[in-house]
Amino acid sequence: MNSIVTVTGKSDFGDICSLSFNWDITVGPGQFVMVWAPGMEEIPLSLSSVGDVKSVTFRIVGRDTEALRKKGIGDSLSIRGPYGNGYRTDGSRRVLVVGGGIGIAPILPLMADGFDTALAARNAGELDFALPAIGKAAGKTWISTDDGSRGFCGNAVQLVQEILKEQEYDEILACGPEVMLFFLHKFCVDNGMKCQMSLERHMKCGAGLCGSCMIDDKRVCADGPVFTCDEISGMKDFGHSKRDPCGTRVLFR
């Protein structure tokens, strides 16, 4: 069932755009929706806020995100979902949340929930969209940029290493580019830390039927998008290959 929602808020930060809307459905951090309006293809986007007002925050990377950014207050969107499992947090573990690049968007709800958070981006500008959330964060926040233009100079994994020098955590909840997650996962395994990571694959149905989003025998849309450290350890495709819209295996660069 899709819902037709009306855009009630919009912010633009360079090539990152955020649209908010009222949608009366319970959603957990890490869950995603399929977003559509005439003139674009339907695309999966994580929810970047999950309270009474919901939002999606996306980087303009191609035709559909470009079309979506053209939407303004009062425009209608088709929203299918929420889909996927989301992050599981039960308060029994000390959790560090890690977001990289546009992968910060899906972890904003965790930040709003008060978890300590590490944010990594290429440069200061790419973090602008997260500043309002950082301002309101109840937990600790750390920042790194590849070029050192804001916060610690280095990547997400390096930032996490720094943080762990001053503070102890049992588990990492992360979202970001697969290459970042690949090394972060390796770091967790090497250091005996638990983790949950949100993965991405090409999605069509979003609901677990069509099989276009498989990593090994897992459906990213329905069995994920958030997978545990152990699940990821068993994935031959992780960091290695994905499927194109035909289902053909494509190796990462």
Provide, rounded to whole angstroms, the least separation between the CB of residue 240 and ligand FAD.
Answer: 15
Closer CB to ligand FMN, 110 or 220, in the complex: 220
Closer CB to another protein, 179 or 209, in the complex: 209
Provide, rounded to whole angstroms, the least separation between the CB of residue 44 and ligand FES.
Answer: 8
Of 103-111, 135-143, 145-153, 203-211, the window that binds ligand FES (rule: CB under 6 A) is 203-211
Closer CB to another protein, 70 or 94, in the complex: 70
Answer yes or no whether residue 242 interacts with ligand FES by CB under 6 A. no
Whole-angstrom distance, CA of residue 161 vs CA of residue 200:
25
The two structure tokens encoding residue 51:
């309270």
Q: List binders of ligand FMN among 157-216 (CB under 6 A).
A: 205, 209-210
Instruction: Identify the residue whose tokens are 């390796």.
Output: 186
Phi, psi of 215 (to 5 degrees): -115, 115
Which residues are paired to 20 by β-bridges?
Answer: 9, 55
Instruction: Identify the residue whose tokens are 């290493």.
Output: 161
Q: Which does 58 bind (CB under 5 to 8 A by kind): ligand FMN, another protein, ligand FAD, none?
A: ligand FAD
Whole-angstrom distance, CA of residue 162 vs CA of residue 223:
32
The size of the interface with ligand FAD (CB under 6 A), counted in residues, is 20
Of 58-66, 89-97, 160-168, 184-192, the window that binds ligand FAD (rule: CB under 6 A) is 58-66
Answer yes or no whether residue 222 interacts with ligand FMN by CB under 6 A. no
Phi, psi of 228 (to 5 degrees): -85, 165
The size of the interface with ligand FES (CB under 6 A), counted in residues, is 12
Angle, helices 156-166 vs 178-190, to 10°: value is 30
Determine the residue with CB nearest ligand FAD. 62
DSSP annotation of 23: -
Phi, psi of 52 (to 5 degrees): -60, -45
Whole-angstrom distance, CA of residue 138 vs CA of residue 146:
25
Q: Work out the number of other CB atoms within 10 angstroms of the CB of residue 117.
A: 26
Residues that bind ligand FES (CB under 6 A): 203-206, 208-213, 219, 221
Residues that bind ligand FAD (CB under 6 A): 32, 43-46, 57-59, 61-65, 102, 105-106, 200, 202-203, 225
